[in-house]
Amino acid sequence: MITAVEGVKCYGIKEGKNGLGIVVCKGKVAGVFTKNRFKAAPVVITQEHVKYGEIEGIIVNSGNANAFTGEEGLRNAKRMAELLAKKLKVPIHKIAVASTGVIGVQLDMEWIESKFEEVFANLGTSREHALSFAKSIMTTDSFPKECLIRDRFTIAGVAKGAGMIAPNMATMLAFIFTDADFEPEELRDMLRKAVDRSFNVTVVDGDTSTNDMVLLIATGKKKVDRRIFEKRLTEVCMDLAKKIARDGEGATKFVEIRVEGAKNDEDAFKAAKTVASSLLVKTAIFGNDPNWGRIVAALGYSGVEVSENLDLSIEGFKDGNAVGSVDLVRNGRSMTNENKAREIMEKSDEILLKIDLKVGKGKGYAFGCDLSYEYVRINSEYTT
């Protein structure tokens, strides 16, 4: 889908756990990066390069995070950038580098360099080219994550992520392209706001990766109203964030938490994300157990102002169609609807929890998933 933006060419390959992808696109750039103190080498390099405000290429490998790899890791990340910079005949600072995979292992640069020419030679603008790149950056993902919105301009994004997701900007990478015309400072401001309302309210397992990276590249072909663009950008980020949550490692249900009646919006988002992060809530949802006491407990330790007169309800969906809804708590009192709630949960692949804290007018939300036996299996065997 990213090739729907004029000027974007890409391609990628996947061999076993290893993948290599390249995107060529000339434009202004802004980025948001992990807050993990152990930043991966490609994050360190790309953060510096993005400061120049312009970019012409992105090179990404999967299967190895190139994180906690010291000076050799930094040299390897720079080498990846050099490969593409030399081919495009541009300064190295116009290349972004990203990696995802196992932490603490040096890159197999022999493999990357041996595949570089093949990937570069096959760059193109078709739907198949875009899909090959999306697949090349996957690790434990079960499907490629793409989004395209057309207005009077185009925004297209691609992301990867299924585990180690608790963005504090998950192992999450996202690359978003547009033909709109904005300066890097404007892109940076809009991207941070969009990320805060999308990727940063998404939780799979509570771990913040060393490699999180979101890049926004604008080719500058079209003049666009900033308010309209900001709205569309947030929609793209939210779509990709939801797909990451739906694809949570081993997940059987997508979960959305909507909070209203909070003291302010900040408290509402904090409360929603706390519920989405609770392992007890996530396991209860996996077991189709309407144990609403776990949700109340999470709200109680969230650090936000709450009322004992809160309301809590649950809605279920299957393949996008409503299954049913029921109140669990009303004005602080149990509605003894657990059996009905269990029936709804058993039929659903998507759960919506609606909470009214009744202390103000703040609203917020968070995205997540359940926590299953399969999550434990995937992550207990990740390096074996």
- Cβ neighbours of residue 9 under 8 Å, at least 6 residues apart? 3, 23, 24, 25, 123, 124, 125, 129
Catalytic residue among 171, 202, 208, 234: 171
**H or E stretch including 61?**
strand 54-64
Paired residues of 334 in beta bridges: 329
73-95 as b/e, with b when 16 or more CB fall inside 10 Å? bbbbbbebbebbbebbebeebbb
CB hemisphere CA count around 27 (13 angstroms):
29
Told to judge if 234 belongs to the known catalytic residues of this protein, a careful annotator would answer no
Instruction: Please state whether 205 falls in left (phi above 0), alpha (psi between -120 and 50) or beta.
Output: alpha
Please give the C-alpha separations between residue 280 and each of 285, 293, 320, 329, in angstroms, as whole numbers: 9, 10, 26, 18
Paired residues of 9 in beta bridges: 24
Please give the C-alpha separations between residue 85 and each of 11, 23, 24, 80, 279, in angstroms, as whole numbers: 16, 12, 10, 9, 44
Residues identified as active-site: 171
